[in-house]
Amino acid sequence: MTNVKLTIEYDGSAYHGWQVQRDDRTVQQTIESALFKITKHPVKLIGSGRTDAGVHARGQVANFKCESRLTPEIFQKALNSLLPEDMVIKNCAIVPDTFHSRYDVKRKCYGYYIHTGPLPPVIGRQYVWHVRRQLDMARMNKAADYLVGRYDFKSFEAAGSPRSHTIRNIYAAEWSISSENILKFHIEADGFLRFMVRNIVGTLVDVGSGRIDPSEMKTILQAADRSRAGATAPAHGLFLEQVRY
């Protein structure tokens, strides 16, 4: 069996997340259907993680095993000829049999994009969260500094999640100006809880708008209580930028 690694870019707007679902269109299901046409047998695609409905990716990684002896170049070309226009295989490689796209992850990088100003954008609106009020980026970066390190991020996990281990290492968390009226939040960690990035962003927007003080981020983090953090930011502003092994 050949172990094949894919690097995938997709616009998540029309998908109900990554994982296969019975009645909804998903990223995994779309790629597996294309792989079946190429390999002539069912293929199980393993992603580095599950992106939620509406979340985009520039560097999602997945692997699958198959009996085909096609070269990576032919696999990539064949897949891209079958996939819809909102998805593309950026890279295809043969990897050792032991490689696992989920279990071997060392770090993941996400980006979240916010458009500020009185008027919402029309072009590109599906890739940013429009916030009408101006945000103080210095305040948001001061608050984000409290997140860097090894902590229990239960306060930023989706309510009702069954996961018992909520400690994660965050290596970077910083806001920058991406382009005119658009702020980008970059966050890098060894793993993320469900809705973790979006809950962090929602809380940082509260800081940037003056609703809470930057120092409150430390208190919220230590509380291990979802109700203490801000609202969940919309999915469509979030991008999985890179997965590192």
Distance of CA 103 to the CA centre of its chain: 17
Closest CA to 173 of 217, 134, 131: 217
The answer to whether the beta carbons of residues 105 and 49 sit under 8 Å apart is yes
Please choose, from the candidates 39, 42, 41, 49, the residue with its C-alpha nearest in 3D space to the C-alpha of residue 19.
Answer: 49
> If you count DSSP H runs as helices and E runs as strands, how many of each does the chain have, helices first?
5, 10
**What are the residues whose beta carbons fall under 8 Å from the beta carbon of 228, sequence distance 6 or more?**
155, 219, 220
Identified catalytic residue from 23, 24, 52, 190 = 52
Q: Which amino acid is it at 231?
A: A
Name the 3-class secondary structure at 28: helix
Angle at the Cα of 199 from the Cα atoms of 186 and 231, rounded to 5 degrees: 130
Q: Can you tell me the distance from the alpha carbon of 157 to that of 136, in angstroms, rounded to the nearest whole number?
A: 25
Grouping H, G, I as helix, E, B as strand and the rest as coil, residue 154 is helix
User: Would residue 225 show up in a list of annotated catalytic residues for this protein?
Assistant: no
In this structure, the strands spanning 129-131 and 56-66 are unpaired
For the chain, the residue count is 245
The rounded distance, in Å, linking the Cα atoms of 4 and 232 is 35
Residues assigned a catalytic role: 52
